[in-house]
Structures are given as C-alpha cells and as structure tokens.
Homo-oligomer: A and B are copies of this chain.
Amino acid sequence: MRLQRIDHVGYAVEDLDEAVRYHERLYGAEVAHRERMERDGVDEALLAVGDSYIQLLAPTRADSPVGRFLARNGPGVHHVGYGVADVAATLEDLKALGVQVVDDHPRPGSRGCTVAFLHPRGAMGVLVELVEDPRLAGVTAGHAGTSPERRRPPGPTLGA
C-alpha cells in the first residue's frame, strides 16, 4: 500500500481556540503544534491521536480554501492527509494514472513536511493530501520493526 499511514484528518472550524478547548475538555487532547500558514490562509492546531493527528483548521481570510469550504458546507471534515515516502514520485505516478491534482508539484506544508493535494473530483469526493514527513525519512515499509519513538520523533518544530 502506497499510503503508509493516516497522517491526519483535517477539520475546518470557525474558531480555532474554541475547537482546541472542545477537544481538551472532552478528550484531554493536547496541542502538539500550532502554525499560521499565510500562503494557505489557515491557522492550524495539531492534536496528537496515537501516531496521527487531528488537524484543526481555521481560515485567516474568507476567500481562502478553508474559508470557502466553511461558507459552502459549514464546519466538518475538510481533507484527509496520508503519509507517503516520497510525495514527488507518488504525485508523478498518480498523474500518469490520470488522477486530477490540486498541486501540480510538491510544496511546503506545515511542520516542515512536503505536501501535495489531489483533487476530490474523481477521487470518491475526498480531498486527499499526500504528506512526506522528513522526520519519518527511511520509514518506508509501513511501520514494521520501528518503535513508536522512532516513528514519530519529537522534532524542534513540534515544540508547541
């Protein structure tokens, strides 16, 4: 399987602080990382769930992708991020197989990752993000034989 793990599920939310408090109160969630991505027009908070994350996304402007999603759908699941070993190679292979993409080339994502979005059209209606996490480099064959510590090492960018 080319998708190695569910890296995160991205929730579009109206108010980031309120969404964080909601998850803290109900689940004892802790914020592993916060980042404002001006290019994407989002403020994000990552909540660790095992080796994956809930990624809370609030728009910084109404005309951003998450802002438009909220206006159209209200809050809910915005996209799913899947970990891959090599975003560039995966993206080229998928394009060769006829997959429509949002990002024609890999680009920087949050927390130092390299990412690319595929288009939901023709993809079961799901907005899929491919995520290459440099902290997981060398972990190619699923997770077999690696300890949890090895698999999600705390990086300097994750110092919340």
What is the interface of chain A, defined by CB distance below 8 A to chain B? 1-6, 9, 11, 13, 19, 22, 25-30, 47-52, 54, 73-77, 80, 82-83, 94, 97, 99, 120, 123-126, 142-146, 148-149
Listed by A's residue number, 8 A-B pairs whose Cβ atoms lie within 8 Å are A1-B30, A2-B27, A5-B51, A6-B52, A22-B124, A49-B82, A74-B125, A144-B148
Interfacial chain B residues near A5, Cβ < 8 Å: 49-52
Q: How far is the CB of A37 from chain B (nearest CB, A)?
A: 20
Interfacial chain B residues near A146, Cβ < 8 Å: 148
Q: How far is the CB of A89 from chain B (nearest CB, A)?
A: 13
Knowing A142-B50, A143-B51 touch, does A126 contact B77 (C-beta < 8 A)? yes
Q: What 4 A-B pairs have minimum CB-CB distances, sorted nearest first?
A: A5-B50, A76-B125, A75-B125, A2-B27
**Bound complex: CA A152 to CA B152 (Å):** 18
B124 contacts A49, C-beta separation under 8 Å: no
A50 contacts B11, C-beta separation under 8 Å: no
B1 contacts A47, C-beta separation under 8 Å: yes
Interfacial chain B residues near A9, Cβ < 8 Å: 6, 9, 80
Interfacial chain B residues near A49, Cβ < 8 Å: 1, 3-6, 82
